[in-house]
A and B are shown apart, each in its own frame.
Chain A
Amino acid sequence: MSKVTITIDGKKVQAEAEESLLDICRREFIPVPTLCDHHDLKPYGVCRLCIVEWDRGDWSKIVTSCNFPVKDGQVFKTNSDKVLRQRRMIMELTLARSSHTPEIIDVAKRIGVEVDKVRFPKKDEGCTLCGMCIRACSEVVEANAISFAGRGPTRKISSPFFDEAGDCIGCGSCSYICPTNYIKMEEDENYRTFPEWKVKFEMAHCKKCGQKIAPKKQLEFIRKKANLPADWFDVCINCRP
């Protein structure tokens, strides 16, 4: 990869060609808000909060920084009036959807949205449709157990047929990664359940120390994928010789 020089808010910055603009901003401590970006996932570009203005001299264009591959000599503004104004509108729309979600209220406040003066009908959707759960399940876990269902305003995250997610291995990545804590994972000594996906998993315990390890189905999934011996997960990591 070749090195390029770009300008962000008047400051010259070195970067790799095709590097994502959001990554560069983070490295340079330039604050850019986002609700759908995660370092382990490919950029998806849906929350639109990370928009910046790409200055083309006599004209400019709004682009999302998370999936924008930079080229040498490009000039960006991350806090022009236009960017800030549009971010507030996007956030107001997001807040109207998830008006009771603390994480959303918090971001809205930070970028200057008057939280109690939302001009659109308020809903209480904990899910912002950022798709992190689905992307983690397919890109990282490769279980592909969940997806979006429907389209437009009725789009939702879902297990197949809104029923038991047969391909779910119970790893919990969807829940860990969910930025609004919408996807719940409940667990006791013997079982782990995901109400959203209508699934319940039996937990494996270490045959030596009795310590709870993970859902049996998850261990089996990993074992097969990594081609490990049949008894590999009989014991926990601490008891493994």
Chain B
Amino acid sequence: MVAKLAKLNNFADLDSLRKSILKDRDANATTIVVAGGTCGEARESNKIFDAISELAKKENAKLTVKYTGCHGFCQREPIVIIEPMGFWYQMVKPSDAKDIVASALSGKPAEHLLFTDDAGNKILKENEIPFYRKQNKLLLSANKLTDPVSVEDYLAAGGYASLPKALAMKPEAIVDEVKKAGLRGRGGGGFLTARKWETVRKAQPGETRYVICNADEGDPGAYMDRSLLEGNPHSVLEGMIVGAYAIGANEGYIYVRNEYPLAVKNARIALKQARELGLLGKNILGSGFDFDITICRGGGAFVCGESTALMASLEGKIGEPRAKYIHTAEQGLWNKPSCLNNVETWANVPHIINKGSDWFASIGTAGSKGTKIFSLVGKINNTGLVEVPMGVKLREIIFDIGGGIPDGKKFKAVQTGGPSGGCLPESQLDLHVDFDELTKAGSMMGSGGLIVMDEDTCMVDVARYFTEFLTEESCGKCVPCREGVAHMLWILNRITNGEGREGDIELLEEMAETIFDSSLCALGGTAPNPVLSTIKYFRDEYEAHIKEKRCPAKVCKKLITYSVIDKNCTGCMACTRVCPTEAAVATEKQATAPIKGKTNPKLKMHQIIDKKCIRCNLCFENCKYDAIKVK
């Protein structure tokens, strides 16, 4: 792999390279697949890979060990799969390497690493696990068997097959195909991709034009783009090459968050490989089409997800949006026609070219075609990336795939669409998730974050959280967003601090109208969504805070108190030891609850002095006897 890749000069070269890679590979060879990716590595998947590799080498057997991107089931990571048997191992530790190699050699599963379902049955294979069963992994499936830094893997899996097809087509025909497929932008607004491409194609004839990949995935709680770019970077490049050819661009950019170091690294490696193979550069595969891509790292600004702000920062300026009365498709980067799509959108393109628009359009709903990757996070049993056809019910995603709420708690809301979206309650769970349905319900698709909240989540605090986020992320250019959102935060802070006033809800609603309509860009133009959607569905929680000075979910610090439940207190002093402010102290009374069946006359019942208590929750976390009450 260190050797420079030989340049492919035509379509036939690509075909024969693919054939020779496949010939060298034994489809039946036992392969141990270790799922990496950022969250895998946070749990030592790299150490697991090293340990397994070392053992495999010692065995000198026909074992291939492969390190791939994220497999989506984050909750159960690190994941290891043994192919071709398909054994699916979860929550693997480096010390499990021995058992895994033994299992690969013997062909028998390592029982203790298998997934156990609710009924206690051991499950052998991935597709039998409830989390995976209802998914349709059009884009994410490649993550499972592809080493992101191996272009051979990508080619072996049929990668870059869309290029010979697309480059032999008329560019207009590609735009047509994408139009017939009904592909809509996966980054937020759900704009028709082909319509954008068409505009860029026709704008400023003869001028330079650009394609840009938006990998500045800013919605907190959404990380599907990271997973695609770090797990399968070539699929994004392939989509961009097709798109660039379709609109007549010779230069492309990937604008990626600097918070995703692995994605940056893998995308850079992929670019280098694609250049060496001649899949980027001059005269791609002998087609006469020139195209190359530059990677730019973002500086950490949510507003740069907005097209004009992103382009300003690509020009080396601050990420300040401008009015879009003239679209970026006509005048974008350096005032040239520019086609900006996000990672997931680009990754869909090769599939449409390969399998045709009819096939693509057969997946999904009338208005939203294809699949969508959601990141299912928060108070949910199965945290992970979920790829389902558009139109699946929220309930199916959260309960069938996500396994419901942990610790027997009750579902309260699901937040969709990131800071621009809204919170949907139980009554909306049968909604069929697509671009239009979510918007109708007062939220939006956004990039596909689904943050599940349970009964312990305060919805006013959630609105406050998003509003604080948006206040900090506002670029500060226009008045409604800079001043308006900040003052919304001021009101929400008052409410959560128990200083809410009659009329606050109405004032928030009044401000929202102006901020929606009069803000310069979409950040401000959607900023009131979290507040309005929580007012719409959880008005009673606002009223409890304002009128009764009570936080029903017991989250807002100024509205809760900590106390000791006398009959449960054993006098163990755990609370005293951890209390940072000496608020948890012993009383004169003897503790009555026993420790291991015995009461000790020396142990005193404890109390919490409210004046000193800073509500850090440490006593609650450390009390083993349920003796701390939060009210």
**What residues make up the interface of A, taking CB atoms closer than 8 Å to B?**
45-48, 51, 61-64, 67-69, 82, 85-86, 89-90, 93-94, 96-97, 119-121, 129, 148, 150-155
Which residue on B lies nearest to A88, using beta carbons? B514
Q: Is B421 an interface residue (CB 8 A)?
A: no
Q: How distant is B486 from chain A, measured CB to nearest CB, in Å?
A: 5
Provide the main secondary structure of the chain B interface. Answer: helix
Q: In the assembled complex, which residues on chain A have CB atoms less than 8 Å from the CB atom of B476?
A: 129, 148, 150-155
Question: Is B513 positioned at the interface, with any CB of A under 8 Å from its CB?
Answer: yes
Partner-binding segment picked from B30-38, B213-221, B467-475: B467-475
Q: Of A62, A97, A150, which one neighbours B517 at CB under 8 angstroms?
A: A62
| Alpha-carbon gap, A89 to B480, bound state (A) | 8
In the complex, the answer to whether A153 meets B486 with C-beta atoms within 8 Å is yes
B487:A93 contact, CB within 8 angstroms: yes
Among B43-51, B147-155, B281-289, B318-326, the stretch that binds chain A is: B318-326
Q: Is B536 an interface residue (CB 8 A)?
A: no
Inter-subunit contact A96/B487 (CB<8 Å): yes
CB neighbours of A148 from chain B (8 A):
318, 476
Instruction: Enumerate chain B residues within 8 angstroms of A63, measured Cβ to Cβ.
Output: 325
Give Cα A83 to B123, complex, Å.
62
Q: Which of B43-72 contact A (CB under 8 A)?
A: none
- Which one, B301, B473, B514, contacts A90 given CB within 8 A? B514
Pair A151/B301 contact, Cβ less than 8 Å: yes
The residues of B that contact A153 with a CB separation of less than 8 Å are 471, 474, 476, 482-483, 486
A-B contact pairs, 7 of them (CB 8 A): A46-B477, A46-B479, A51-B517, A64-B520, A89-B513, A151-B474, A151-B475
CA separation between A89 and B512, bound complex, in Å? 10
B318 partner residues in chain A, CB cutoff 8 A: 148, 151
The reply to whether the CB of B207 lies closer than 8 angstroms to some CB of chain A is no
**Across-interface contacts of A152 in B (CB, < 8 A):** 471-476, 482, 486
Name the A residues within 8 Å of B475 (CB-CB): 151-152, 155
Contacts of A61 in B (CB 8 A): 517
Q: Select one of B326, B474, B477, B480 contacting A93, CB under 8 A.
A: B480
CB-defined contacts of B472 to chain A, threshold 8 Å = 152
Q: Is A67 a contact of B479 with CB atoms below 8 Å?
A: no
Give the complex CA separation of A126 and B326 in angstroms: 33
B interface list, Cβ under 8 A from A? 301, 318, 322-323, 325-326, 471-480, 482-484, 486-487, 490, 507, 510-511, 513-514, 517-520
Task: Name the distance in Å between B465's Cβ and chain A's nearest Cβ.
Answer: 16
**Taking the nearest CB of chain B, how far is it from the CB of A88, in angstroms?**
9
- List, in ascending order, chain A residues with CB within 8 A of B322's CB: 45
Q: How far is the CA of A61 from the CA of B518 in the complex (A)?
A: 9
**Distance in angstroms between the alpha carbons of A7 and B518 in the assembled complex:** 21
The interface residues of chain B lying within 8 Å CB-to-CB of A96 are 483, 487
Whether B483 pairs with A93 at a CB distance below 8 angstroms is: yes
- Which residues from B are CB-within-8-Å of A45? 322-323, 478, 520
Q: When the two chains form their complex, are residues B483 and A89 in contact, meaning their CB atoms are under 8 A apart?
A: no
* Known A46-B478, A148-B318: A86·B513 in contact at CB below 8 Å: yes
Given contacts A85-B514, A152-B471, A153-B476, 6 further A-B contacts (CB under 8 A): A46-B477, A64-B520, A82-B517, A89-B514, A152-B474, A153-B474
In-complex Cβ contact of B490 among A47, A69, A94, A120 (8 A): A120
Assembled-state Cα–Cα distance A47/B520 (Å)? 10
Decide if A121 touches B325 in the complex (CB within 8 Å).
no
- Taking a contact as CB atoms under 8 Å apart, the answer to whether A93 and B325 are in contact is no
Say yes or no: B471 contacts A97, CB within 8 Å.
no
Q: How far is the CA of A101 from the CA of B473 in the complex (A)?
A: 27
Q: Please name all residues of chain A whose beta carbon is closer than 8 Å to the beta carbon of B490 when the two chains form the complex.
A: 120-121
A97 to B479 CA separation, bound complex (whole angstroms): 10
Q: How far is the CB of A144 from chain B (nearest CB, A)?
A: 12
Q: Which of A46, A68, A120, A129 contacts B325, CB < 8 Å?
A: A68
In the complex, A212→B514 CA distance in Å?
Answer: 50
Residue in B closest to A49 when the chains form the complex, CB atoms:
B479
Q: Is the CB of A48 within 8 A of B479?
A: yes
Q: Which 5 A-B pairs have the closest CB atoms?
A: A155-B476, A93-B483, A62-B517, A89-B514, A152-B474
**Contact of A89 with B511 at beta-carbon distance under 8 Å, contacts A62-B518, A152-B472 already known:** yes
Is A51 in contact with B518, judged by CB distance below 8 angstroms?
yes
Q: Enumerate chain B residues within 8 angstroms of A89, measured Cβ to Cβ.
A: 480, 484, 510-511, 513-514, 518
**Neighbouring A residues of B519 by C-beta, 8 Å:** 48
Cross-chain contact of A97 among B480, B483, B507, B513 (Cβ < 8 A): B483
Do the beta carbons of B482 and A155 come within 8 Å of each other?
Answer: yes
Chain A nearest Cβ from B596, distance in angstroms: 55
Bound Cα distance from A2 to B472, whole angstroms:
44
A45 to B324, CA, bound (A): 11
Do B487 and A67 have beta carbons less than 8 Å apart? no
Question: Chain B's nearest CB lies how many Å from the CB of A127?
Answer: 12
Could you tell me the distance in whole angstroms from the C-beta of B238 to the nearest C-beta in chain A?
A: 36
In whole angstroms, how far apart are the Cα atoms of A90 and B476 in the complex? 14
Contacts of A151 in B (CB 8 A): 301, 318, 474-476
> With A69-B325, A152-B472 as given contacts, are A90 and B480 in contact (CB-CB < 8 Å)?
yes
Give B303's nearest chain A residue, CB to CB.
A151
Give the shortest distance, in Å, between A123 (CB) and chain B (any CB). 10
Q: How far is the CB of A124 from chain B (nearest CB, A)?
A: 14
**A48 B483 Cβ-Cβ under 8 A:** no
From A47, A62, A85, name the one whose CB has the most chain B CB atoms within 10 angstroms. Answer: A62
Residues of A within 8 A of B471 (CB): 152-153
Q: Which of A96, A148, A153 has the most CB of B within 10 A?
A: A153
Give the nearest-CB partner of A60 in chain B: B517
Query: Which of B325, B519, B520 has the most chain A CB atoms inside 10 A of its CB?
Result: B325
Residues of chain B with a CB closer than 8 A to A62's CB:
517-518
Q: In the complex, what residues of B have CB within 8 A of residue A90's CB? A: 479-480, 514, 518
B323 adjacent to A48 (CB under 8 Å): no
Q: Are B483 and A67 in contact (CB under 8 A)?
A: no
Check A120 against B520 for contact (C-beta < 8 Å): no
Which residues on the B side are within 8 Å of A121 (C-beta)? 487, 490
Write the nearest CB–CB distance from A60 to chain B, whole angstroms.
10
Q: Specify which chain B residues have a CB less than 8 angstroms from the CB of A69 in the assembled complex.
A: 325-326
Cβ distance B519 to chain A, nearest Cβ, rounded Å: 8
Q: Which residue of B475, B482, B484, B507 has the most chain A CB atoms within 10 A of its CB atom?
A: B482
A120 to B318, CA, bound (A): 29
User: Are B323 and A64 within 8 A (Cβ)?
Assistant: yes
Q: Are B487 and A120 in contact (CB under 8 A)?
A: yes
Q: Please judge, given known A-B contacts A96-B487, A151-B301, whether A48 and B507 are in contact too, CB under 8 Å.
A: no
Select one of A48, A68, A97 contacting B478, CB under 8 A.
Answer: A48
Q: Which of A64, A96, A97, A152 has the most CB of B within 10 A?
A: A152
